[in-house]
Amino acid sequence: MDSFARSESGLPIQPVYDGRTLTDFDADTALGAPGQFPFTRGVYPSMYTGRPWTMRQYAGFGTAKESNERYHELVGAGTGGLSVAFDLPTQMGYDSDEPLARGEVGKVGVAIDSIQDMRTLFQGLPLDKVSTSMTINAPASTLLLLYQLVAAEQGVPGSLLTGTIQNDVLKEYIARGTYIFPPKQSLRLISDIFAYCHRELPRWNTISISGYHMAEAGATPAQEIAFTLANAKEYVRTAVAAGLDVDDFAPRLSFFFVARTTLLEEIAKFRAARRIWARVMREEFGARNPKSQMLRFHTQTAGVQLTAQQPEVNLVRVALQGLGAVLGGTQSLHTNSYDEAIALPTQKAARLALRTQQVIAYETDVTKTVDPFAGSYFMESMTDDLEAAALELIRAVEDRGGAVAAIEEGFQKSEIERSAYRIAQEIDHKGRTVVGVNAHVLDEEEPYEPLRVDPQIELDQCERLAALREERDKDAVERALDALRTAARGTDNVLPPMREALRLRATVGEVSHALRDVWGVYVPHDTF
């Protein structure tokens, strides 16, 4: 018996097809092999023929206790990795009892104010076995250190922790808005995180450079990968300028992209992005380690394409989007719940989203061979065209002095806004069909009862904060925060004093305010 997988008809499916098995396309020379430079066909030789991608579900709402219960349900349902959603105050570095947090506590994610909340969030979860992704940017260092402290309390050393912090502040200035500090200081903090994790958390992905939010704001696939990779170049330059060797931190860089319903272009987009990044890292930054040249990425299905009208149709959209991500070679995947266009997902909807991934992994044949579209005339042409279009946009960013200078000029933002306007016009004038919105519309929508966050959560969170401040050693906390301010004024890495402050039960907001005291806050231009 050979070791090939078999089709439904009993025919052998080879793990990899290349130029020796294609008669009309010399893929062996044009594409290279999976797991080899320039990684067009995937970053690992066996891809999903060895094991499937990590199935993540983005979750977090209300209190840490409620979110912990949801995480236990997801792990029990077969999720291999957790992805934490934080509420808006946490994302902006404010405590739940601050005036600016009023009305937003626990609304779009979980509220985390201190080490006590982080303990509750991960209680009973095996942090040495579960990979955790945290969607946090400006205060990413703070949440990562809280996670490390809680893991240490469970007896799990930093050397065993695996996961990702998004930590991609540049895209916040372009498309999302949850920034705190000016770009220069944000980049300093990111390079400190790179250096700290190299020593303390060697298996942790220190940044997830994101095109997802730019795509949700209206970026085309070419713009998504171009502006993401331009931001990535800025991060690499910053780390190298801070004295880090590229091969010390680049293997832990990761990326985050969207998967739209335009299945074929999305597959080509992922293939083109890998090829561009491999060449950038080898030719521009001199990376010698192949892992430094690999573009490893997480994918989330396109929330912006989900509709409140006929929400069950979103199940079909998400299945197609997830399939595109898998055929494009993603390393991990979050599939959106069908009801997310209405409110926070219900438990049933979240379970169905996970089951969508499991059907793709275990009931289809797409995991039986690597990069099944390789050699397709359309796919290779589209991959080449997307690569060329993205490189042209990257050059436009570089011509303006790099990502930060282009952000300050408003270049990326204006380009994305033009694309978003064009798409909106096409939908309004029915040049682009959206089922249930401008075609195949129901006269009357069926009633739907969404999941809602109890406003009592905010009051309870504020009470817990007041109790924490009364119980802790106030003088020790203030001394630790002063040490953090001193590090921020100088050149020392800010993460060790930040960790000590958090250990002493300083809050997320207090840590962020200590850095605001020294670095200030970013104020965007009113107009560009």
pLDDT digits (tens, 9 = 90+) for 209-260: 999 999 999 999 999 999 999 999 999 999 999 899 999 999 999 999 999 9
Does the structure show a pLDDT above 60 at 317? yes
Let me know if residue 405 belongs to a domain: yes
**DSSP-derived 3-state class of residue 171:** helix
Let me know if residue 365 belongs to a domain: yes
The CATH number assigned to the domain holding 152 equals: 3.20.20.240
pTM over 0.85: yes
Does the structure show a pLDDT above 60 at 131? yes
d(C-alpha 329, C-alpha 324), whole Å: 9
Q: How many residues does the chain have?
A: 528
- The answer to whether the CB of 49 falls within 8 A of the CB of 286 is no
> How many beta carbons lie within 10 A of that of residue 483, not counting itself?
18
Residue with tokens 């993401």: 228
d(C-alpha 86, C-alpha 112), whole Å: 7
Average pLDDT over residues 315-341: 96
DSSP 335: P
d(C-alpha 97, C-alpha 35), whole Å: 49
Does the structure show a pLDDT above 90 at 342? no
**DSSP-derived 3-state class of residue 209:** strand
Give the pair of three-digit tokens for residue 355. Answer: 């089951």
d(C-alpha 466, C-alpha 478), whole Å: 16
Let me know if residue 387 belongs to a domain: yes
Give the pair of three-digit tokens for residue 448. Answer: 């739907």
Let me know if residue 512 belongs to a domain: no
d(C-alpha 403, C-alpha 234), whole Å: 6
Least-confidence region, from 50-64, 182-196, 221-235, 503-517: 50-64
In degrees, to the nearest 5, what angle opens at C-alpha 160 toward C-alphas 157 and 165? Answer: 100
d(C-alpha 48, C-alpha 218), whole Å: 31
Give the pair of three-digit tokens for residue 263. Answer: 């299945």
DSSP 158: G
Computed on alpha carbons and rounded to an integer, the radius of gyration of the chain in Å comes to: 23
d(C-alpha 362, C-alpha 326), whole Å: 12
Torsion angle (degrees, nearest 10) of CA 156, 160, 166, 169: 90
60 confidence band (pLDDT: 50, 70, 90): low
Position 451 scores a pLDDT of 65
Give the pair of three-digit tokens for residue 83. Answer: 């992805």
- The answer to whether the CB of 427 falls within 8 A of the CB of 434 is yes
Alpha-carbon distances of 358 from 163, 311, 313, 450, rounded to whole Å:
21, 21, 19, 25
**DSSP-derived 3-state class of residue 62:** strand
Extract the runs of DSSP E, i.e. beta strands, from 253-401.
253-259, 297-301, 332-334
According to DSSP, the β-strands at 163-165 and 332-334 are unpaired
More confident residue, 24 or 462: 462
Does the structure show a pLDDT above 90 at 75? no
Torsion angle (degrees, nearest 10) of CA 213, 214, 218, 221: -110
Average pLDDT over residues 296-307: 95
Average pLDDT over residues 458-465: 94
Let me know if residue 463 belongs to a domain: no
According to DSSP, the β-strands at 5-6 and 54-59 are unpaired
Structural domain including 83 reads: 13-428
In degrees, to the nearest 5, what angle opens at C-alpha 484 toward C-alphas 483 and 489? Answer: 95
As a whole number, the mean pLDDT across the chain is 92
What residues have CB less than 8 Å from 405, skipping those under 6 apart? none
Residue with tokens 């402290």: 149
- The answer to whether the CB of 48 falls within 8 A of the CB of 367 is yes
More confident residue, 26 or 7: 7
Let me know if residue 522 belongs to a domain: no
d(C-alpha 84, C-alpha 334), whole Å: 11
Position 168 scores a pLDDT of 95
Fill in the amino acid letter for 148.
Answer: Q
- For the stretch 26-37, pLDDT in tens is 444 457 899 999
Average pLDDT over residues 41-54: 94
What burial class does residue 23 get, using C-beta atoms within 10 Å of its C-beta: 0-12 exposed, 13-18 middle, 19+ buried?
exposed
- For the stretch 162-189, pLDDT in tens is 999 999 999 999 988 999 999 999 999 9
Q: Which residues pair with 255 in a beta bridge?
A: 209, 297
Average pLDDT over residues 390-405: 97
Position 25 scores a pLDDT of 44
Let me know if residue 525 belongs to a domain: no
Position 305 scores a pLDDT of 96
Position 277 scores a pLDDT of 98
Torsion angle (degrees, nearest 10) of CA 96, 97, 99, 100: -10
- For the stretch 463-486, pLDDT in tens is 999 999 999 999 999 999 999 999
Torsion angle (degrees, nearest 10) of CA 247, 252, 253, 257: 150
d(C-alpha 105, C-alpha 115), whole Å: 17
- The answer to whether the CB of 118 falls within 8 A of the CB of 64 is yes
- The answer to whether the CB of 143 falls within 8 A of the CB of 121 is no
Let me know if residue 376 belongs to a domain: yes
Position 1 scores a pLDDT of 41
Does the structure show a pLDDT above 60 at 20? no
d(C-alpha 61, C-alpha 255), whole Å: 24
3-state SS, 72-138, equals: HHHHHCCCCEEEEEECHHHHCCCCCCCHHHCCCCCCCCECCCCHHHHHHHCCCCCCCCCEEEEECCC
Position 436 scores a pLDDT of 87
- The answer to whether the CB of 79 falls within 8 A of the CB of 358 is no
Give which of 365, 270, 259 is closest to 320, Cα–Cα. 259
Average pLDDT over residues 19-24: 50
Give which of 280, 170, 183 is closest to 227, Cα–Cα. 170
Domain count, the chain: 1
**DSSP-derived 3-state class of residue 54:** strand
